[in-house]
């Protein structure tokens, strides 16, 4: 199960694998309605669900997931440390947390490495996991972290 926190309008949904189960979430019901339409168009109905709510709520009510994705979310929540801690509690052992951060959020970026280690995650090199990954594909204004729960 993959939990996407902060799905927004779901512009990327058309690129997702059809064999995974997804929970798409956002605080904005209108944006999530657009994501719902995209999911209905591109994914099998039984493979996805939507949850309206803030990051803390959605992570807490979606325990034991394989992946939690927080793309451009961690820099806008009130307490990033608490969000990462809740993610760790709710991931399956061996699960992964994907954190994607705008370079405009420099303070958050510098906090990620020590914080994820302190909470028991192992920082992964994205290039090792995705052989075709190139930093320029992620965008020069963004940083991507993948952390794995031990």
DSSP string, 64-86: SEEEEEEES-TTTSS-HHHHHHH
CATH number of 2-149: 3.40.50.150
136 vs 45, which has greater pLDDT?
45
Contact criterion met (CB below 8 Å) for 100 and 141: no
Residue 33 has pLDDT above 70, yes or no: yes
pTM, to two decimals: 0.74
How high does pLDDT run on average in the chain?
A: 77
Q: Give the whole-angstrom CA distance, residue 23 versus residue 51.
A: 7
Token duo for residue 93: 């052992």
Domain ranges of the chain: 2-149
Token duo for residue 83: 């969000």
| CB hemisphere CA count around 107 (13 angstroms) | 5
96 vs 140, which has greater pLDDT?
96
> Which tens digits make up the pLDDT trace of 41-60?
999 999 999 999 998 889 98
Which band of pLDDT confidence, cut at 50, 70 and 90, is reported for residue 140? very low
Residue 89 has pLDDT above 60, yes or no: yes
> Which tens digits make up the pLDDT trace of 61-82?
888 899 998 877 877 788 877 8
Residue 37 has pLDDT above 50, yes or no: yes
In angstroms, how far is the first alpha carbon of the chain from the final one?
A: 18
């Amino acid at each position: 199960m993959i939990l996407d926190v902060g799905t927004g309008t779901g512009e990327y949904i058309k690129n997702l694998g059809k064999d995974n189960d997804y929970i798409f979430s956002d605080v904005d019901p209108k944006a999530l309605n657009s994501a719902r339409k995209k999911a209905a168009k591109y994914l099998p109905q039984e493979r996805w669900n939507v949850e309206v709510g803030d990051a803390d709520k959605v992570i807490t009510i979606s325990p034991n997931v394989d992946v939690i994705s927080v793309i451009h979310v961690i820099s806008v929540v009130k307490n990033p440390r608490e969000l990462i801690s809740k993610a760790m509690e709710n991931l399956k052992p061996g699960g992964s947390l994907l954190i994607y951060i705008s370079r405009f959020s420099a303070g958050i970026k510098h906090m990620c490495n020590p914080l994820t280690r302190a909470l028991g995650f192992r920082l992964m090199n994205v290039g090792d996991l995705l052989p075709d990954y190139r930093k320029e594909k992620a965008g020069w204004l963004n940083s991507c972290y993948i952390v794995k729960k031990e």
